[in-house]
Chain A
């Protein structure tokens, strides 16, 4: 690691005041310290914020749930309210990493996870995300793990988070503290961004902004939910493809659907059109298959990841079927 000064922030004010453009907030450290050891992240100051008091879970005034930005992933996933009303979120979180890592990783930090693209990690290879202007090694290289949606000429990396796929299906907003002490709310869909010509920016966070809370919408998929994660070993592996599926059913019809996919784009990929398509339909295999076709129709794979189109379709059908099949 490069040398850095360490600041253990005792409160929000101290954290915000300590911030400079070359510093980095430190949450659980599970991603940041790894990247610092890899020399990908090079802050000259770490401001530890994991101990700040944003660790509560409470009912918000919109009938949803607010979860603290500094709460650990495991405490969040296992919170009785989250498990009862947002089991899709719990399941997505529990599919990620390991118990040790979930005990460390914070909710805010999870949103800021950086890609696992191997070109991003290896300093000797080009990567526009790591070093803007150096090129993208993956486009003409090894792209089996890469995007099939929403990529650009400069970056085809995918977002690695599972929790964020769950959040995308559920619908949420992110609350951040601005350096001036005020707060702002970002719709979850606007939080992560597509690479465009600036792949070095994963999110729409501004410098110095600190994630303090995630607000969940009123629970709608507490009974019919499933998070499917397809990976190269049975646990402790990032997804090739993952699908978060939530259904609300009334009188044998789908009244609301949430559907998002991981491992396919620079951000969690929410299928808004498919969600609308499913509403009003009677849930059965053929509808789910039609939904899958619709979802994947615009997929544009590379040489190494054509499998993702087929896998994606099957994953959607399976996740929707599993969600539907749950006993309510």
Chain B
């Protein structure tokens, strides 16, 4: 079957592989919206959107292990990476960072490369529950550690509360720093529970758990994730809403007819 025939088959019958089903879960599409989605996607756009949604490697957790890279590597290391609760066995160049292993070997491209030098936070993942930079972590040093990436935060199609809040509060624009921001936020929720301090904490000697973080505290603690689009205020709102369970209201409004009139007349 040609690529196009496979696609048409899916469109008509909704025949999905296990991987594709998982992708739909991640997209939050249930049975009827799946069909609608498949119909809505046009055949001409197949290669773009099919690539977006259906690369077989995207949900590597569904596959036991990817084939080994056939390339002969100098200083090869064998690593078992436990990522999003599934173990991948890889033969890697000793120089391979966790970031490149995720993106280039496991097709887990949700984790982003923004600078490759620990200066932006886009590559933030959770390692044993703590936020760390995958660009300055050698994959070889991750044996036996539990790694969670952006792809592993939603459960059975249900987004993590932080993911939902980012969506609702528009905590992103281009979306490139977003996985890092979200992983960082998820970790920060726990850091606040553990009572960890920051540079802007008033008194380091007052140790309490379950901190309620002020806006300044949130900003300082989220300063390791640069957002060049400048969505910081929305990121703070998204975090706050999950952290303190209070509704965060938009800080935009339309001028009223009265305001407009007054501004004119005076």
Contact = CB atoms under 8 A, between A and B. Distances in A.
Complex: A in contact with B (CB within 8 Å): yes
Interface of A: 1, 3-6, 8, 26, 28-30, 33-34, 37-38, 46, 48, 50-51, 74, 77-78, 80, 83-84, 87, 90-91, 94-95, 97-101, 103-104, 222, 229, 234-236, 326
Of the candidates B97, B143, B204, the one having the most CB atoms from chain A within 10 angstroms of its own CB is B204
Contacts of A104: 132-133, 136-137
B140 A6 contact: yes
Contacts of B77: 6
A51 B140 CA distance: 13
Contacts of B138: 6, 26, 29, 33, 46, 48
Nearest to B224: A98
B71 interface: no
6 contacts: A30-B118, A33-B138, A48-B140, A83-B207, A84-B207, A94-B201
A89 to B, nearest CB: 10
Contacts of A3: 74-75, 94-95
Contact of A78 (B143, B196, B199): B196
Contacts of B207: 80, 83-84
Contacts of A26: 138, 141
Contacts, number: 116
- Interface of chain A: mostly helix, strand, loop or mixed: mixed
Given A100-B133, A103-B132, A83 B118 contact: no
Contacts of A235: 199, 219-220, 223
A289 B221 CA distance: 33
Contact of A103 (B75, B131, B198, B225): B131
Interface in B193-209: 194-199, 201, 203-205, 207
Given A4-B94, A235-B199, A99 B187 contact: yes
Nearest to A28: B136
Contacts of A229: 199
Interface residues of B, number: 43
B75 A87 contact: no
Contacts of B141: 8, 26, 29, 48, 50-51
A50 to B, nearest CB: 7
A33 B115 CA distance: 13
B143 A8 contact: yes
Given A33-B138, A94-B204, 4 more contacts: A4-B75, A78-B195, A83-B197, A98-B121
Contacts of A234: 220, 223
A90 B197 contact: yes
B188 interface: yes
B124 interface: yes
A33 B75 contact: no
Nearest to B201: A94
A224 B138 CA distance: 41
B25 interface: no
B197 A78 contact: yes
